[in-house]
Structure 1
Amino acid sequence: MEQQRRAALDGWYHETQTSQQRHTLLDPCQTNESDSFLLGLEQRIEPSLRRLLTQRNGLLFAAQTAYNKLFPKNVSLSRHQTLSLYDRLSSALTVAQVTGIQPLCTHFAARLAPLNCPDASRESNIRQTHLAQYARLLATQPTLINREMLKQLSDVGLSAQDIVVFTQLIGFVSFQARLLAVINALAGRPATVLPGFSHPEEAKQSGFSLQLRRWQSFLPEVDLTQATREQLDVLDFSAPDARDSSFYRLLLQDAGSLEALSALTTHIMKQPGDEKSALKEWAAAATSRINGCLYCAGIHGRYYLETGGASGHIDSLFLEPEPQHTPTVEQDSRVKAVKTLTQTPEKFDASALQLLLDAGYTHQQTLDILLSSALFSWLNRLIQTLGTSELA
């Protein structure tokens, strides 16, 4: 895989070793690990703050379900599913390492360690190199991913379903890392930045606006005339207009991860009695702007204005060449906190969290902002990688 730009982080990768409420398909009995999402870190938080997390049972269950779907105990390989458990866990470890969240690195390293390495053939080595490079680049600089890189994944044997699963797991671990960073901040723990960590380059993207954009997949979508009843149920659960959406029809290639992602999105962005929150929509737009995602920034910028947000806040986000701070302490604090979580989660600590509290936000509002930002560190990577958007 061609290297488009110097990797943001050098020198310490493992590489490879030689709400809408309804009955869903998610079943609590399917949870095969009870603590592989939060990793027990929430126990370090003071009890009154820990309740802010534990009262979100639906969110945590959906996140654990997403983990179980993407990293099951065993993976049965087939012509359409060639991404082995080793492939998944080694890629997840790469993403965890570039985020710098040490408990997450330890977790995936421990799961990877007992597995047999791929064979040492030239073809296997080339495939593993492509997977590692792609995971690293998508985790750090998603705007550099292009259609040619998807073709390169196809050339080393990944099916369309594999590529969807691969992108989902990179996005998921990006989300998980940022939520764990928030938990560490709530626990008052200082950031631990290893030597050699450098600041990721700014997303080189322009053209941000509130104009409607249309997204189209690069990869084959599921033909709904051939879809199973379960797939159609997942599609209808995901969004009212999902059957007409290229994005959802593509993600239906892996219905399990799509369903878990949709449940997570509902629990974070659409809590009962709070269908759209200005704070969460602003955080979604700001994170998308920082990640260089034109499509998501435009949509959630419009949602922010629909909820009564100030147009000046969106105008300041969309200024070129990068997000600018407004003169108000409140907006300045929001931008700084979200930018730290989005670009350098390993540096997000109690002082970054305090920026939002000092600006007058409650712990509940602060968590809403940060959960939305973490979620869009996942969603942006799907949108930016798997298709393209043009002005409608």
Structure 2
Amino acid sequence: MTATPTTPDASATDFRRPERFTREGLGWEPWLEPPAAEDLTPEQVAALVEPGRTASPYFRLLALGPEILESRTRADLDMVLTGAPRPGQEGEGLPRPERELSSTVASRVNGCVFCASVHARLAAQLGKRPEEVDLLLREGVGAADQLEPRWAAIVHAAAALTATPPTFDAGNVAELREVGLSTEAILDAVGSAAFFAWANRLMLSLGEPVVPER
């Protein structure tokens, strides 16, 4: 599931910044005033791909560049939510929980607390391994060697792709193959991490995560 940030009503809610990485649901507050949903043009609404995203201030900001937004959203949905479509090769890609794991790692390395919360929550729920996800959130990617080999290899690869400059190389591919990933699964792992290695940086430049007071 792609990250869809929302901003609660500031007049009714006090905000505080999250103190650490978490799987809890967070809001997101933009630093720039986004267009109102009713002010979006038909072209901008179409670029959201999913009309319900008009509720998100983040996506309304991105709708100021509709062509770029549409490309961004379709890439996100293909790589992270469904995996790249491969007619006749169903079942050979990376399972959804591990695509979410790869996205979580990129977000953790980049320091994007909002995106990490969304993808860590999905990785934990779908993969039924919340303790290991929480370990990564708490200790960072250095904790990868405490995981079983398949998850460790995915974490190593995602972290290498996210580094500046990237350090992903043939050794990462070999490690992924050793733990049983097919070529299609490796492409999904790379796509999920690479997409969020970029998308986190965009989100971090436009606003910040917030925790509503309960």
TM-score range, shorter chain: 0.7 to 0.9
Distance 1:226 1:337, change over 3 A: closer
CA RMSD of aligned residues (A): 2.4
The structure with more radius of gyration: 1
Identify unmatched segments of 5+ residues in structure 1. Answer: 1-18, 20-204
Partner Cα separation in structure 2 for residue 327 and residue 246 of structure 1? 36
* Letter matched to residue 194 of structure 2: A
Query: Which structure's relative contact order is higher, taking Cα pairs within 8 Å and 6+ residues apart?
Result: 2
Partner Cα separation in structure 1 for residue 153 and residue 132 of structure 2? 12
Partner Cα separation in structure 1 for residue 169 and residue 32 of structure 2? 39
Aligned to 1:314: 133
Aligned to 2:116: 297
Aligned to 1:340: 160
Asked if 1:375 is matched to 2:188, the reply is no
1:216 counterpart SS class = strand
Distance 1:335 1:270, change over 3 A: closer
2:69 counterpart SS class = helix
* Consecutive aligned runs of 4 or more in structure 1 exceeding 6 Å deviation: none
* Letter matched to residue 99 of structure 2: K
1:333 counterpart SS class = helix
* Letter matched to residue 250 of structure 1: L
| Identity percentage of aligned residues | 27
- The equivalent position to 1:330 in structure 2, one of 139, 150, 165, is 150
Asked if 1:390 is matched to 2:201, the reply is no
Identify unmatched segments of 5+ residues in structure 2. Answer: 2-17
Partner Cα separation in structure 1 for residue 111 and residue 38 of structure 2? 35
CA contact (8 A) 2:105 2:116 kept: yes
Displacement after TM superposition at 1:321 (Å): 6.1
Q: Which moved more, 1:349-358 or 1:328-337?
A: 328-337
Aligned to 2:15: none
- The equivalent position to 1:244 in structure 2, one of 52, 55, 73, is 55
Distance 1:346 1:270, change over 3 A: closer
- The equivalent position to 2:23 in structure 1, one of 185, 197, 210, is 210
CA contact (8 A) 1:215 1:388 kept: yes
Question: Equivalences for 1:95-244 in 2 at 5 Å?
Answer: 207-235=20-48, 237=49, 239-244=50-55
Distance 1:224 1:240, change over 3 A: closer
Partner Cα separation in structure 1 for residue 72 and residue 147 of structure 2? 36
CA contact (8 A) 1:206 1:321 kept: no
CA contact (8 A) 1:221 1:250 kept: yes
Aligned residues: 186
- The equivalent position to 2:172 in structure 1, one of 349, 352, 374, is 352
Displacement after TM superposition at 1:254 (Å): 1.1
Aligned to 2:8: none
TM-score normalised to the size of structure 2? Answer: 0.78
1:286 counterpart SS class = helix
TM-score normalised to the size of structure 1? Answer: 0.44
Partner Cα separation in structure 1 for residue 208 and residue 110 of structure 2? 15
